[in-house]
Amino acid sequence: MSKDDRSVLSWLAFVAALAALSVAIFGLKDNGSSSGSAAGGGGGAKPTVNVTLKDFAFEPATITIPTGGATLHLMNGGQAPHNFKVAELGITSIDISAGASYDLNIPATPAGTYKVICPQPGHEGAGMVGSLVVSDSASGDGGSAGGTPTTTPPTAGHDASSNSAMDARMLAAAQLFPAKTAGHGGDLAKYTVAADGYKEFVVEAKVVDWEVEPGKIVKAWTYNGVVPAPEIHVTSGDKVRIIFKNSLPQSTSLHFHGIQVPNVMDGVDPYTEAPTTPGGEHIYEFTAKGPAVGIYHSHHNAQEQIPNGMFGALTIDEIPTPQVLIDKGYPEKPTKSVNMVLNDAGVIGLSLNGKSFPATEPYTIRVGQTMLVNYMNEGLLVHPMHMHQPLGWIIAKDGVPLITPMPTDTLLIAPGERYTVLYKGVEPGVWAWHCHILTHAETADGMRYMVTALIVER
Ligand SMILES: [Cu+2]
């Protein structure tokens, strides 16, 4: 995969535009007027009060400080960036990102109750409203201490506020895409050429920490520490040797799904070989016969080992662009070739290439360029994968080129199936690309799981 897959400037621009739009809609653009924030430098007597910013609330909702001022230690315990604003006092913190904290200085202030909001677009509407009570009488939680204009959460009607809360949650979720997570799977596997001419790949099964989405770290069962495993790509006629090591706490075996190999190399223990026990090794050898769009995965306790992450693409040669599409103006070779491995179970769960939205990877092509996608379903369920645009052409099923390509915008892929689809960029834009079983793509808190985007640039 090329670097520009991950250069997502257009998408970021799109997200920024979306954010700007919502700022315009909500009219919450904050004009600064931030107070001094003597982050901790404030000299003696001022107390420090801890406030946690959540999605979408202040905790506590009523913050009591003395008239002499205080330092508010603001901690963002949510997923979205938050801010702390007291409009009446002209005080605004900086934007505090998820997990970060900030000390906000509140100077000496007349007694009273002041409304606090988060000025991030939509957050006030989502209920992120609190009160700052300035009082010398009550040092406890004196919620009703002041006599001045109390501002409790404004409501524009029950439905309206819960609806705007939902919109705000969805916006916050969308703005996280593409979220950074540790680890990237599916990159090309390295090999060495042995003295006898074999291409040698080392594949080690092991359990590692894997970040499926921001902050969701699971004990994944992997090949070489990534999900999906590195793609093994070879050419017809290549002699292939896989030196397989088992560093799992369980026995396992390695099967080459959709690849023509001798029976004794099929990896089906206990029939074609003995299981490879923890700490053990097994050598697999075959001569590559292509084209093939296959998978290497476990064939031992597979209903658990595979969804937990033990799968990787194994491809031989390339699926050629059909003449009928070349005649329609498709380039002979795709600009980009992508494996899209679907999963829905085990510790990884609903995911595309080992990641769940917003941590899924967006892909970029230009108008006129083509992207070839090998869909591979390693989960336990069927998934109808839907590309909003452009229209795709199915050019191979299970690695066998079709005599006549078939158009698709929604393609049902069953467990174990592989489909090869060619997409040609036509209309510029950021196009949603997701499983169309809607509970695999969305929640009431916004898009999740099996969702990514194809970015078509001019
Ligand atoms: Cu699905």
Note whether 354 and 312 are within 8 A (CB).
no
Rounded CA separation 49/67 (Å): 14
Kindly state the average pLDDT of the residues 191-217: 98
Percentage of residues in the chain with pLDDT exceeding 70? 85
Interval between CA 140 and ligand 1 midpoint (Å)? 52
Interval between CA 432 and ligand 1 midpoint (Å)? 14
Cβ-based neighbour number of residue 383 at 10 Å? 26
| Higher-pLDDT residue of 25, 52 | 52
Interval between CA 343 and ligand 1 midpoint (Å)? 8
pLDDT band, very low/low/confident/very high, at 193 (cuts 50, 70, 90): very high
Interval between CA 433 and ligand 1 midpoint (Å)? 12
| Higher-pLDDT residue of 204, 100 | 204
Interval between CA 178 and ligand 1 midpoint (Å)? 20
- The alpha helices in 270-377, defined as continuous H runs, are 302-305, 323-326
Q: DSSP string spanning 238-295?
A: -EEEEEEEE-SSS-B-EEEET----GGGS--TTTSS--B-TT-EEEEEEE--SSEEEE
Interval between CA 7 and ligand 1 midpoint (Å)? 26
Highest mean pLDDT among 33-47, 84-98, 139-153: 84-98
Lowest-pLDDT range, 137-146, 192-201, 236-245? 137-146
- The reported pLDDT for the residue numbered 254 is 98
Interval between CA 311 and ligand 1 midpoint (Å)? 18
Note whether 402 and 421 are within 8 A (CB).
no
pLDDT band, very low/low/confident/very high, at 99 (cuts 50, 70, 90): confident
| Residues near ligand 1 ion, CB 5 Å cutoff | 383, 435, 437, 440
Q: Residue 349 pLDDT > 90, yes or no?
A: yes
- The reported pLDDT for the residue numbered 222 is 98
Interval between CA 186 and ligand 1 midpoint (Å)? 20
Q: What is the pLDDT of residues 215-250, one digit of tens each?
A: 999 999 999 999 999 999 999 999 999 999 999 999
Token readout for 275 is: 């299981």
Q: Residue 423 pLDDT > 80, yes or no?
A: yes
Rounded CA separation 244/254 (Å): 8
Interval between CA 273 and ligand 1 midpoint (Å)? 34
- The reported pLDDT for the residue numbered 144 is 37
Interval between CA 352 and ligand 1 midpoint (Å)? 10
- Name the pTM for this structure: 0.68
φ, ψ for residue 172, nearest 5 deg? -60, -40
Q: What is the mean pLDDT of the chain?
A: 87
Interval between CA 108 and ligand 1 midpoint (Å)? 56
Interval between CA 215 and ligand 1 midpoint (Å)? 22
308: phi > 0 → left, psi -120 to 50 → alpha, else beta; which?
A: alpha
| Higher-pLDDT residue of 247, 140 | 247
Domain spans in the chain, listed from the N-terminal domain onward:
10-175, 192-457
Rounded CA separation 200/388 (Å): 40
Cis amide bond preceding 291, omega within 30: yes
Interval between CA 307 and ligand 1 midpoint (Å)? 14
| Higher-pLDDT residue of 152, 85 | 85
Q: Residue 409 pLDDT > 80, yes or no?
A: yes
Kindly state the average pLDDT of the residues 181-199: 98
pLDDT band, very low/low/confident/very high, at 36 (cuts 50, 70, 90): very low
Interval between CA 451 and ligand 1 midpoint (Å)? 10
Cis amide bond preceding 270, omega within 30: yes
Q: Residue 172 pLDDT > 90, yes or no?
A: yes
Interval between CA 381 and ligand 1 midpoint (Å)? 7
- The reported pLDDT for the residue numbered 154 is 41
Interval between CA 450 and ligand 1 midpoint (Å)? 7
Classify 192-457 by CATH class. Answer: mainly beta
Interval between CA 260 and ligand 1 midpoint (Å)? 29
Interval between CA 195 and ligand 1 midpoint (Å)? 45
- The reported pLDDT for the residue numbered 159 is 65
| Higher-pLDDT residue of 148, 289 | 289
Residue in 127, 122, 216 with CA at minimum distance from that of residue 448: 216
pLDDT band, very low/low/confident/very high, at 16 (cuts 50, 70, 90): very low
Kindly state the average pLDDT of the residues 144-162: 47
Token readout for 457 is: 């640039």
Interval between CA 382 and ligand 1 midpoint (Å)? 6
Lowest-pLDDT range, 108-122, 201-215, 427-441? 108-122
Interval between CA 440 and ligand 1 midpoint (Å)? 5
* 10-175 against 192-457: fold identical: yes
Interval between CA 51 and ligand 1 midpoint (Å)? 40
Q: Residue 79 pLDDT > 90, yes or no?
A: no
Lowest-pLDDT range, 20-24, 299-303, 322-326, 395-399? 20-24
Q: Residue 205 pLDDT > 60, yes or no?
A: yes
Interval between CA 75 and ligand 1 midpoint (Å)? 36
Superfamily of domain 10-175: Cupredoxins -  blue copper proteins (2.60.40.420)
Lowest-pLDDT range, 23-32, 82-91, 127-136? 23-32
Note whether 233 and 188 are within 8 A (CB).
yes
Kindly state the average pLDDT of the residues 423-427: 98
Interval between CA 435 and ligand 1 midpoint (Å)? 5
Note whether 176 and 55 are within 8 A (CB).
no
- The reported pLDDT for the residue numbered 136 is 84
Lowest-pLDDT range, 70-84, 249-263, 409-423? 70-84
